[in-house]
Amino acid sequence: MITITTTDALDAFCARAAAHPYVTVDTEFLRERTYYSKLCLVQLAFPGGGVDDAVLVDPLVDGLSLDPLYALFRNTDVVKVFHAARQDLEIFYIEGGVIPAPLFDTQVAAMVCGFGEQVGYETLVRRIAKKPLDKTSRFTDWSRRPLTEAQKTYALADVTHLRVIYEHLAAELKKSGRTKWVEEELQVLSDPATYVVQPEEAWKRIKTRTNSGRFLAVVRELARFREGYAQSRNVPRNRVFKDDALLELASTKPATREDLGRSRLLLREARRGEIADGILSSVKAGLKVPNDALPKGNGKPATLQVNPALADMLRVLLKAKAENAGVAQKLIATTADLDAIAAGSRDGMALKGWRRDVFGEDALRLCSGQVGLAVRGDKVDVFEL
């Protein structure tokens, strides 16, 4: 197997790859001790059976530039194929400011093709490529050099089998007329905003049990400080302080370092120095937010009046529609989506695009009493009222 360690060698491989309709891509990285992922290895392959059609690229080698790869990512004549692409795409966007296009994610495509929810790569290799996959090297330290032969073999398999999987799924999508469905799903992955966490928006990711505006104002300021601190120092946000400690601080509202010392959940390192000062300043800022500027319920409706009987019927309808279409239920709608529809919301993703065709139209007709559900054996039918 070939490991690329120079920019010239990478440029030569990418030039050959550009002559093919697609290239498969994967990465190995570490993120346990940093805010941003540390890219340790890139795997690439294009169609063919030669030993030089699939390579490993070592980005940790001094002097190697990934610019030829980024140029290939911008080449719209070549489809870039990933499996569960989100973390890989985040790395390339943060490192190189580029999101590969056009993009194909085999995990998304497999969900559309009826392989279940968030199907793993190993499952697709077994079911489509009909090959075993050795995952023993999955959790090794990819930053250590030299890489073992077992690591290299494992890493390369992540792009060689992916060629077979991609060709199979692409053919299935073309046959079923669902290629546009996958393209709709990939719009989020292709949006740069997906990979940038703005500190002022970080509070929306924290699960709270209250809609108190004052409490949420303190949560917002604490989350803003933590995210900015973690980003600027490239440390995991939980190393600053964890969510449960953040919620405790928002509840107790400490005003002094002595108050911080009474916290049950705050790490010792966070009770002194810059972090302690940041916490106290954030709590103070949250308490000073004017009443008319207080955040509201983490962006979620504070008074969601769900009709439980209707929600249950929507679940039955979803199950039937998903089975008929051969699509994973959660790809069409989540439990929260169904509850929102049962509460009268008409803005959710389940009511847009291909989801509306598969499920949304009948869901709305069910809500308005235009149709009902009937069980016939092990099937659920929709009938007109």
229 counts as catalytic: no
Catalytic-role residue among 26, 221, 227, 339? 26
* 154 included as an active-site residue: yes
- Which token pair is 372? 């009902």
Which is the catalytic residue, given 154, 172, 337, 339?
154
Give pairs for 245-248: CB < 8 Å, separation 24+.
Answer: 245/270, 246/206, 246/219, 246/222, 247/206, 247/208, 247/219
- 28 annotated active-site: yes
Q: Which of 53, 158, 337, 339 is catalytic?
A: 158
Give the other-Cβ count within 10 Å of 220's Cβ.
25
> How far is Cα 73 from Cα 58, in angstroms, rounded to an integer?
17
Q: Please indicate whether residue 167 is annotated as part of the active site.
A: no
Answer whether 125's CB lies under 8 Å from 133's CB: yes
β-pairing verdict for 79-82 and 103-105: parallel
Q: CA-CA distance, 29 to 263, in Å (whole number)?
A: 35
Identify the active-site residue in 22, 35, 88, 221: 88
- Give residue 316's identity as a one-letter amino acid code: V
Residues with a known catalytic role? 26, 28, 88, 154, 158
